[in-house]
Structure 1
């Protein structure tokens, strides 16, 4: 409502904030974790497409480097034979555990940071949405757009989060103490 009042009669001009918030919330909320990787690997359409690209592939294997093993010091990918597919299907189905106390991956540093980033972002964009004015509108849009910086998986994501935190600070909207404490 406040956004539309900034450009009365021109609905197209006053949607930058809403669109940026939608993209940012999706970026921070649709992260790739172990459940999502398992879902993608066991998707029947994707499997058929992959096998079609490799003629004569008799015994495909999954080459993975799970973060749990990486944190335990394992530096190389492991091969999981096709016989391990049922475990991946079960893992994909267990995504209902994501974010709960029963989530075996939820205590990992990156997962805690991902949840904190989303909560902080929602709280941050809700404040300007309550009182947008013409002078602060461009800043509100810029703050909402900073979520686009957070991309990648694990180490790459952590590097991008540092850039995100810096961009937010430069705009005068630092991240919460919870997010800062996880960096």
Structure 2
């Protein structure tokens, strides 16, 4: 009888835990850092499946600026994705090494990236990108979630500090 009670308690706790995790996933689509294991979830196949290699911008025909970043996405090998975010001639490009990624839904990718890799300012970030098409059928991407070492920066496509919506980037060329 004791064994049945213990098993019932374990089952009930498991169901409660699953409900909590499901509720958390609805509000925070990215799991804690470390859940994307690099060998199992290399970024390159996921980025290729979503056709993300190439150049992206808000307006491809205008120069790069903080309001019109030009994002170059390449796959140098070994499963790694490199993103260079050009925000204009007055700024150094932001460099990301996407080391792991997984499909997080029909139009979502969850990625683990190193911001400023190999520098003193290197930081691990968790990102969720939404991939879609605009009204003209052009591929788009948008950051829906970003968590850095100092906490959540973007949630539901809105920058936490400023309240501004994240930019929709379109495929160039």
TM-score (norm 1): 0.28
Q: Which has the bigger relative contact order, CA under 8 A and spacing at least 6?
A: 1
Which structure has greater helix proportion? 1
Structure with the greater alpha carbon radius of gyration: 1
TM-score (norm 2): 0.29
